[in-house]
Structure 1
């Protein structure tokens, strides 16, 4: 039983260290959503809403961060919204 508790504690500590590392990156939700606002979408727009949905996933945030200009970011969000809407309509 002691080994199980020890392994559980190690696992919890490891997961917490990963979470702390993720929070310190440039890809945090807060940082990425600030870039969303900088490229134009404000709360209430389709682009802002889709960003609030997809940027809970790190891979989506990383993809967004590869885009160089606010214009590219805004266009990407618009296309992402169109793609998500088209996918929902086909179900």
Structure 2
């Protein structure tokens, strides 16, 4: 599984939302992403963040670009027509 970047937003008691970038595999458990961000916040100088999992917003970002799948052209057309 390829690694990706996740953004984890934690609400804080000061009314702000602190967002942390967490690098983890695409199949990472959301709870693991939450705790990684929460522990990072808890060790910093900022006001206490909520430790409620349901209060966090977790989004994956930076997915690699993939070429769109194209439909095969129909061979039922007559030559010279489009």
TM bin, normalised by shorter chain, reads 0.3 to 0.5
Higher relative contact order (CA 8 A, sep 6+): 2
Question: Between Structure 1 and Structure 2, whose CA radius of gyration is higher?
Answer: 2
Higher strand share: 2
TM value normalised by structure 2: 0.33
| TM-score (norm: length of structure 1) | 0.30
Q: Which structure: greater helix fraction?
A: 1
